[in-house]
Structure 1
Amino acid sequence: MPDRTEDVIDQLHALMHLFKDRMRQALNVDGGGLGPTEARALRFFSHHPGSTQQDLVAHSGRDKAQITRIVQQLMERELLAREPDPNDGRRFNLQLTKKGLALQEAMHTQRKKLAADMLRDLSKDERQQLGGLLERMRESAEGSSTAASERIASR
């Protein structure tokens, strides 16, 4: 039987783009004009209230200047607010405003609807199995990139 590895990767790639396109459409409807990167930043702060801009840089892998612009745009739109860190006066903690929270909830509803649409033909057991398989794939990929980085560093 032929190795279908490339087919699986192609299917994952196509599925990812389909998901991103549908989320982009949802952003146009319920996202208040946010771009995908701004929406991801808003989602990060909804899951990690009180995090810093540097936390988002570390989480996203984006450069500091880009994250600074995104945070500034979210603050200008009154979706994100910053407060001095009580433990370190040089840092600011960021959290969603009421307006940001309402927008995030609307986007979360769209995300859940899209996920339900994409998974509706899979049984609960199949969804759990798929989740486990995808997690193992991610771990393998992360392990491969870590090993490659270590090989390069040891040269």
Structure 2
Amino acid sequence: MDDELLDLFGAVSNAFHVRLQGLAVLDELRLAPFQARTLSLIARYPGCSQQALSTSTGRDKAQVARTIKELETRGLITRQAHPRDWRAQSLSVTPEGKQASKLLLRHRAQAGVEVLQDVSLKEREVLRRVLSKMRARLAASGSLLATQDS
């Protein structure tokens, strides 16, 4: 039963990511799907580090480093010395990056509305509580991007 539930969870998550990768707004912003995902994560978790992004996305450090450099070159993010770890850099969005991430968020929200249209408010609340518990467990194990001490 748990294997089936985890498979279903993974299938829904993967299908939603595929849906997001096909958003027309990516062409409009001239962003590859992973660039858009990285920009969105930096916008949601200002001050996060490259290591935190690598851990959270499951991508290798080199791919994350290239993406960060591309976003920085485009003027969408900035890097600063991390306040608590001299070896790391804190990442933040620029005003242009903030505009792009807001546009991405609107399109992501619309995709979410479509996916959840057959799920009642009560079911959504149950799902929110369950996923929050799962997220807390993963965050405690260091598998998720933390909002602080990234």
Same fold (TM over 0.5): yes
Is residue 41 from structure 1 mapped to residue 35 from structure 2 by the alignment?
no
> Secondary structure at the residue paired with 2:90?
strand
Q: In the TM superposition, what is the alpha-carbon distance from 1:134 to its structure 2 partner?
A: 4.1
**Residue identity matched to 2:95:** K
Amino acid at match of 2:51: Q
Cα deviation for residue 92 of structure 1 reads 3.2
TM-score, length of structure 2 as denominator length: 0.72
Query: Which residues of 2 match residues 84-95 of structure 1 at below 5 A?
Result: 84-85=81-82, 91-95=88-92
Q: How many residues align?
A: 137
Gaps of 5+ in 1: 147-155
Tell me: CA distance 1:95–1:133, structure 2 relative to 1, closer, same or farther (3 Å): closer
Percent identity between matched residues is: 30
Flag the 1:134–1:75 CA change in 2: closer, same or farther, 3 A: same
Counterpart secondary structure, 1:71: helix
Alignment match, 1:150: none
Shift of 1:97: 1.1
Higher RCO (CA 8 Å, separation ≥ 6 residues):
2
TM-score, structure 1 normalization: 0.70
Q: 1:136 to 1:95 in 2, by over 3 A?
A: closer
Task: Give the superposition deviation at 1:133.
Answer: 3.7
Partner residue, 2:112 = 115
State the distance in 1 between where 2:73 and 2:116 align.
37
Structure whose residues are more often helix by fraction: 1
CA RMSD of aligned residues (A): 2.9
Query: Within 2, Cα distance between the matches of 1:91 and 1:14?
Result: 34
Task: In structure 2, list runs of 5 or more residues that go unmatched.
Answer: 142-150
Q: 1:103 aligns with which of 100, 110, 124?
A: 100
Contact (CA 8 Å) 2:50, 2:88: kept in 1 or not?
no
